[in-house]
Amino acid sequence: MKANRSKFMLLFADLFAIVLASYHRAYRLNCVALRCFNAAGATAQLGEDHRPETHLLSRLLDVATNSRRPFEIYGGDYPTPDGTCVRDFVDVVDIARAHILALQALPKLGFATYNVGHGRGYSVREVIRTAEQVTGASITVRVVPRRAGDPAVLVGSPNKLCRDLGWKPKDSDLEGIVRSAWRWTERNPRGYRGARQIGIWRSGSKP
């Protein structure tokens, strides 16, 4: 179900970009469509806290703090070097920079679409090894059947974004992403339910 939802969201993003392009032509509405790949990492104040948690890195860190449960890998027989899916991870701060650059360039761009990706993919097992190195935990894994619709490799080229707007993925190395997410998890083991930041609410909640 999660994979099918992801495919739907990608299709929806493409359709929405077509709608924005039509509005630009008809009404001269300036807009930029940013297609962000796997957003990950955290800042000192903001991290991931979904209920239920579905994102790879957050699930891994949850298992790292509760080693009694294994981490489930969805499929281990993909045509990739280690048999697990390969994905492009982008730090949330790099994504924020891309939005700022797009807003600043909006008047001259008119309409444009960009991939916000690192351009380099990491397999699920690579992410697991990095999480073990950062957290010091030994993560037990269990390979379960593939999810329908999951592509073997999904990586976004940021070349156009780098060329047009001067964007560079400064914080999107895998170890740095995992380390920032782990720091936030250590400071907020109960997520936003236990966070002391005022005015910050977990995803989907109401103030």
Query: Could you tell me which CATH number the domain at 2-192 has?
Result: 3.90.25.10
* Neighbouring-strand partners of residue 141: 71
What's the full length of the chain, in residues? 207
| Dihedral angle, C-alpha 40, 88, 165, 20, nearest 10 ° | -90
> pLDDT tens-digit profile of 76-102?
999 999 999 999 999 999 999 999 999
Residuewise pLDDT in 10s, the chain (207 residues): 444 445 545 555 677 777 777 766 776 788 898 999 999 999 988 998 888 888 899 999 999 987 678 999 999 999 999 999 999 999 999 999 999 999 999 999 888 999 999 999 999 999 999 999 999 999 999 999 999 889 999 999 999 999 999 999 988 899 999 999 999 999 988 888 765 543 444 444 443
Q: Report the relative pairing of strands 121-123 and 86-91 from DSSP bridges.
A: antiparallel
* Neighbouring-strand partners of residue 34: 114
Q: Where are the domains of the chain?
A: 2-192
Rounded-to-integer distance, Cα 188 and Cα 191, Å: 5
